[in-house]
């Protein structure tokens, strides 16, 4: 089996670690130094854009797209749509990593995979367009496309502990605000479950069981570290980048029922408390 992974970053790397040892992984990156790091991990690395990927596209049995959309839309389709269309129908599985941002703001209400897509941010709108572009290709070619809508990703190296330790963490307060999250290792196991039981056309939400206010996560991280709870700052008084503020423009609870019922997934980290405890325990053993 051969996985061709476009934009081989944090989530894709977690999947690669989970694959059986007889799999070959071809990962693309934009930077030469990142390509060297991928090779050091035993992967075949390609520069994209730059390298000729036609042979890799022909050889791959599975394709994963993690690269986000840019000004040109989906960068993989912008560069390689014709080449992909020529081979897509022969693949065993194609996965596209999207975001729960496609659902927009639901003021803390529940969404599932059947909820209409009403994004309120430019990033969310770009993801809706990219999903549609891949779905159009699948309709034309019979490609076995699967779409995965990811909640906020955390895991090793991506947690609140560093900011809490530095004393730079803040609890931004917006009444009623909740986010869904997903540990990167649970992303990997959902992708692998889908690869072992493909269902072309399927869409899956990837999140844990408990959408929670972001200030609660920061407070719990401080509690685990035995440090003071970071200060609470009302959102209208907080200094935030436009991107950071855009995350607070949407509040929703995301259902993960489908990954459990259709793929038989049991989450390793069903809520942020279990996830943060595991991250801290792993730090202690490093």
User: What CATH number does the domain containing 69 carry?
Assistant: 3.40.50.720
d(C-alpha 99, C-alpha 152), whole Å: 8
Before 79, cis peptide (omega within 30)? no
Residue 126 in domain: yes
d(C-alpha 143, C-alpha 93), whole Å: 8
* Parent domain of 41: 2-152+183-207+254-268
Residue 276 in domain: no
Residue 64 in domain: yes
218-241: per-residue pLDDT in tens? 999 999 999 999 999 999 998 888
Residue 160 in domain: no
d(C-alpha 28, C-alpha 48), whole Å: 6
pLDDT tens per residue, the chain (286 residues)? Answer: 999 999 999 999 999 999 999 999 999 999 998 999 999 888 999 999 999 999 999 999 999 999 999 888 999 999 999 999 999 999 999 999 999 999 999 999 999 999 999 998 888 999 999 999 999 999 999 999 999 999 999 999 898 999 999 999 999 999 999 999 999 999 999 999 999 999 999 999 999 999 999 999 999 999 999 999 999 999 999 888 887 888 888 999 999 999 999 999 999 999 999 999 999 999 888 6
Helices (H), the chain: 10-18, 32-40, 54-59, 75-87, 122-141, 161-166, 184-196, 214-225, 242-247, 257-263, 272-285
165-176: per-residue pLDDT in tens? 999 999 999 999
What residues are paired with 153 via a beta bridge? 182
d(C-alpha 43, C-alpha 26), whole Å: 6
Residue 285 in domain: no
285's CB contacts (< 8 A; 6+ apart) are none
60-108: per-residue pLDDT in tens? 999 999 999 988 899 999 999 999 999 999 999 999 999 999 999 999 9
Cα–Cα distances (Å) from 165 to 143, 217, 225, 227, in that order, read 47, 14, 8, 8
Cα–Cα distances (Å) from 74 to 89, 135, 266, in that order, read 19, 12, 31
Residue 228 in domain: no
**What is the domain count for the chain?**
1
Residue 203 in domain: yes
Residue 223 in domain: no
Please provide the DSSP assignment of 47-82 as one string. Answer: ETTTS--HHHHHH-SEEEE-PPPBTTBSHHHHHHHH
- pTM, 2 dp: 0.95
């Amino acid at each position: 089996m051969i996985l061709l992974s476009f934009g081989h970053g944090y989530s894709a790397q977690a999947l690669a670690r989970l694959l059986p040892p007889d799999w070959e992984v071809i990962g693309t990156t934009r930077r030469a130094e990142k390509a060297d790091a991928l090779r050091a991990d035993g992967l075949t690395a390609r520069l994209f854009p730059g390298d000729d990927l036609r042979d890799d596209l022909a050889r791959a049995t599975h394709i994963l797209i993690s690269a986000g959309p840019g000004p040109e839309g989906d960068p993989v389709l912008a560069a390689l749509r014709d080449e992909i269309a020529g081979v897509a129908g022969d693949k065993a599985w194609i996965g596209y990593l999207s975001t729960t941002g496609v659902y927009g703001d639901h003021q803390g209400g529940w969404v599932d995979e059947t909820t209409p897509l009403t994004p309120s941010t430019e990033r969310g709108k770009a993801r809706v367009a990219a999903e549609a572009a891949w779905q159009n290709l699948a309709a034309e070619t019979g490609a076995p496309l699967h779409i995965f809508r990811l909640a906020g990703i955390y895991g090793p190296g991506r947690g609140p502990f560093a900011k809490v330790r530095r004393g730079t963490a803040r609890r931004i307060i917006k009444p009623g605000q909740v986010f869904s999250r997903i540990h990167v290792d649970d992303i990997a196991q959902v992708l692998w479950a889908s690869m072992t039981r493909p269902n072309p056309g399927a869409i899956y939400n990837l999140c844990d069981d408990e959408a929670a206010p972001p200030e609660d996560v920061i407070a719990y991280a401080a509690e685990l570290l035995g440090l003071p709870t970071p200060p609470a700052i009302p959102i209208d008084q907080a200094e935030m980048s436009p991107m950071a503020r855009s995350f607070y423009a949407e509040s929703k609870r995301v259902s993960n029922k489908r990954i459990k019922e259709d793929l038989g997934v049991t989450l390793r980290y069903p809520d942020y408390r279990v996830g943060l405890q595991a991250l801290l325990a792993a730090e202690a053993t490093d």
